[in-house]
A = this chain, B = another copy of it.
């Protein structure tokens, strides 16, 4: 176990915060990393699965605080206003005030809900994120997107709200199921494609170490992923422009998730196929040089990620799911396309034939 802690900064003016990355950061080391809170009040938000594995070591690191633990049910289905209301009741019942600090101990669902509660409890309290999945570590720990779902759509209710700090302990990844681990790697590959050809090449050269969850490899890929996302977010905190490049592969990916019913594909798996589709689309638009799409697909396959659609997915259904049906008022859906590995653009003006051909290559009919 390496004891070094690497710290990067997400630069957002007076909303800047540090991300600490290391191996074995829970327990006593947690106390130093989170520093002082505004009072002794702390509420840890977690779920039963994570709680059984990591609550004890988290509590050990916060032993000089008065800690209450809110355990929410596991799964995306509970990231809704009902759980939000329960969380508010919990904080009120336990007499938390404006000086409290919420600690999100869990994956994306716990992080998103905790962040939204922190953004809105008494008009905003401090919160700290301890993401326990690879996806949450490289994606939702940077950017301040907090949300709950609404019956009519994911993440429809939320706020942009930044944490005080993020503590990424890579040791928690050793208990992560293989599928979830791979799903996190999809977003890591994405950062290479959209921003950093050198990082992409590093992933290719070190895919075995990554798949073996080797400590130094993990620290490097998480650190670089967070850095890239932090750079993008720092330039566009509220998603007015540049931040859209983070959606590479996601327009296709969301449609896949949507058509299969949420839960069939993990988000990262759908994004993996979506990135291959986006890359092939980019080649058909004569932007990405030939061979780029297969290079991306090969890396994803090395990481045990799917690169083709399985099951019966129709072209027309994909178009509809991407919002390209007749009901769409504004007409065209914008796509993030690659000009090279490491460089992408957001385009609204593209050949419909290239899109149709791409869909035909993946869909059953």
Q: Which A residues form the contact surface with B (CB < 8 A)?
A: 81, 85, 88-89, 92-93, 116, 119-124, 145-147, 150-153, 155-160, 238
Contact = CB atoms under 8 A, between A and B. Distances in A.
Give the residue among A123, A124, A157 with the most B Cβ atoms within 10 A: A123
A159 B124 contact: yes
A80 to B, nearest CB: 10
Given A81-B85, A85-B81, A123 B145 contact: yes
Contacts of A88: 81, 150, 156-157
Contacts of A120: 116, 120, 157-159
- As for how many copies of this chain the complex holds, the number is 2
Given A88-B150, A92-B153, 12 more contacts: A81-B85, A89-B150, A89-B151, A92-B151, A92-B152, A92-B156, A119-B159, A120-B159, A121-B157, A122-B156, A123-B158, A123-B159
A347 B123 CA distance: 24
A121 B156 contact: yes
B147 A123 contact: yes
A328 B153 CA distance: 42
A317 B174 CA distance: 56
A158 B161 CA distance: 13
Contact of A124 (B121, B124, B238): B238
A92 B157 CA distance: 11
A146 to B, nearest CB: 8
A238 B161 CA distance: 14
A142 to B, nearest CB: 15
Contacts of A151: 89, 92
Q: Return the 4 tightest CB-CB contacts between A and B, nearest first.
A: A92-B152, A123-B158, A120-B157, A120-B159
26 contacts: A81-B85, A81-B88, A88-B150, A88-B156, A89-B150, A89-B152, A92-B150, A92-B151, A92-B152, A93-B152, A116-B120, A120-B120, A120-B157, A120-B158, A120-B159, A121-B156, A122-B156, A122-B158, A123-B145, A123-B146, A123-B147, A123-B155, A123-B158, A123-B160, A124-B160, A159-B159
